Chains A and B, each alone.
Chain A
């Protein structure tokens, strides 16, 4: 390999990465631009345009966002905690125990990955109604807590844990639960982190199911608040919409920037591609 070829390769790589990066950041940059300038500058880029926070104030006042944020926070926490609990136990069983019907059951779990959640909306609604949970936060969460994807992912990770570690712990007299707690879970941390990110961002952004199953301000998440800005009959105020969008996705963006290194690494280690 000759040196010039190598550097040409490098230049190409770097410039392509920059180009893609710019393309990716453009919508976000536009959102920031419109959100902090008066509406008159939505489509005009004047560097000296006056800055304003008025759009955020307007957006904040258009819906009870404080309550919505609390609801979304409760919702994603509840879903994630239940998913971890159920997923860990199920994955442990599938990975390390032999019992009749194991492969059939596992195939059923995998089947869940093939079913679009949207086509189950009516059935889920009926179930929630029978449980008398319509218009509650648990009703938004329940259909998602037994996650086939989570079980699958954790099972694959648990399978990669060397049997020797398991056996050594057992020789030391650890119980099954003890082994799970002390051996498997610590080794699967990157998977938990990666899966947690996917789950939180997915449920943070979920719109249709929460809208359908809830009716009141006390139970609705931020996405429902956001939808109030899509007023097609009267023209779209981009500056206010973008302010609201930044506001609602802000916590996720900030969390991602803070934990960026861990997330990227955990994705690489967990092997999600």
Chain B
């Protein structure tokens, strides 16, 4: 009792001070995660500083909040504790979770003019799939990526393949892979054909295979999954066969973090990984490399990934307006180009690619265009209500099939049943 009275008294004093301070200018707090190496945090800091300089009526405080998982934990805790940020970059797939927790507001109320609507329409549709639901826009794409296929041109030459041509179909990837596998005298593999990492979040790259086979893993409302669709089973069978039947990929779970390294050291001739790696590969690969779209089965396809801007509840009208202005500014061509060049993330608006800076960049480094062109075929990353739980069920099923504990069909059937049990209440 005494404690709470005391706390309230202190809080009241503190509050009166803070309202006095905020009367001077709009204060914005903005959380961001860092998921790529290099200068990502510094680039964001630099951009916000530049914005604050040009807009003296806004104080903007960019707060580094750890990994994506840490950031969402921090944002939820701060919101529950009555101190939400006005703006945060969080995984696009956390949209349903944040709506479910009632922590975010849609951008629509602040984007009413025709010009604003045009601005929303100016993002790649593939990125907007994870950002809109129920006719409202909850996320604005910012640090978005998509997986692509990297290949070692020297290894291709050595195996008698055309070093300028990536495998275009599933069958071609197996065929090339078989030619690329190298063994030493005692029969141990020294170079695998391809490497599709499966640790941690296998669903992401697997989703590429599923989309290529003409099926999406979840509906747009986020309340129904298609894990046991025969086409999903077929895609998983293909992935499992790569190491068990065709023997072009190392067996078992393959580490994400070690994948670029394995590529640099020639342990694999091809790898599937995020475009977030482009800058890293360019700087560190000791050979000529190519970047291609993921191979197709029925169609080309890839998931998108990465983080969106979200507006948090609890801000004043003034703050939210300022936050929307800031989001518009930082996704504008000039700023977006800087961000893409510093990190390798895909610029989310076509107009960014039309700037002179980006054109010049793409001329010297044409590989960056592959991810952009692939967006035409890209689909939303798997995202549902209760996302963490549903995705975990799916990941566990994939891991069980990859390690050979269960057949793809049995694992996916069980996963679908579990996901149904969780999602039933959202239908």
Contact = CB atoms under 8 A, between A and B. Distances in A.
A15 interface: no
Interface string B253-271: 0001111110001000000
Given A43-B265, A130-B11, A208-B73, A233 B274 contact: yes
Nearest to A214: B63
Interface stretch (B74-82, B188-196, B205-213): B74-82
B277 A234 contact: yes
A233 B277 contact: yes
Contacts of A126: 80-82
Nearest to B37: A231
Contacts of A194: none
A229 B41 CA distance: 11
A249 interface: no
A233 B36 contact: yes
A221 to B, nearest CB: 13
A166 interface: no
A232 B200 contact: yes
A122 B11 CA distance: 17
Given A127-B7, A134-B83, A234-B37, A212 B74 contact: yes
Contacts, number: 103
Interface in A102-141: 121-122, 125-132, 134
Interface in B12-61: 13-14, 29, 34-38, 40-41, 61
A128 B7 CA distance: 9
A7 interface: no
A216 B63 contact: yes
Nearest to A131: B10
Contacts of B260: 234-235
A215 interface: yes
B37 A129 contact: no
Nearest to B62: A215
Given A212-B77, A236-B257, A228 B274 contact: no
A233 B63 contact: no
Contacts of B258: 235-236
B311 to A, nearest CB: 19
What is the size category of the interface that chain B forms with chain A?
35 or more
A144 B165 CA distance: 60
B244 interface: no
A234 B70 contact: no
A222 interface: no
A154 interface: no
A164 to B, nearest CB: 40
A234 B11 contact: no
A233 B8 CA distance: 44
A37 to B, nearest CB: 14
B1 to A, nearest CB: 14
Interface residues of A, number: 32
B80 A122 contact: yes
Contacts of B29: 215
A42 interface: yes
Contacts of B74: 211-212
B200 A233 contact: no
B383 interface: no
A211 B65 contact: yes
Contacts of B306: 233
A228 B279 contact: no
B309 to A, nearest CB: 18
B195 to A, nearest CB: 12
B81 to A, nearest CB: 3
Contacts of A14: none
Contacts of A129: 11, 81-83
A235 B259 CA distance: 7
A131 B38 contact: no
B141 interface: no
Given A43-B261, A127-B7, A132-B11, A231 B78 contact: no
Contact of A130 (B10, B259, B274, B284): B10
Contacts of B13: 132
Contacts of B257: 232, 235-236
A208 B69 CA distance: 11
B280 A211 contact: no
A250 B276 CA distance: 32
A131 B344 contact: no
A121 B82 CA distance: 13
A131 B7 contact: yes
A201 interface: no
- Which residue, B63, B145, B344, has most C-beta atoms of chain A within 10 A? B63
B64 interface: yes
A134 B61 CA distance: 14
A227 interface: yes
Contacts of A229: 37
Contact of B70 (A128, A211, A238): A211
B66 A130 contact: no
25 contacts: A43-B261, A121-B77, A126-B82, A129-B11, A129-B82, A129-B83, A130-B7, A132-B10, A132-B11, A132-B13, A212-B73, A215-B29, A215-B63, A228-B34, A228-B64, A229-B37, A231-B34, A231-B40, A233-B145, A234-B276, A235-B257, A235-B260, A235-B273, A235-B280, A236-B258
Interface of A: 39, 42-43, 121-122, 125-132, 134, 208, 211-212, 215-216, 224, 227-238
Interface of B: 7-8, 10-11, 13-14, 29, 34-38, 40-41, 61, 63-67, 70, 73-74, 77-78, 80-83, 145, 200, 256-261, 265, 273-274, 276-277, 279-280, 284, 306, 344
Q: Which 4 A-B pairs rank lowest in CB-CB distance, beginning with the nearest?
A: A233-B276, A235-B260, A125-B81, A132-B14
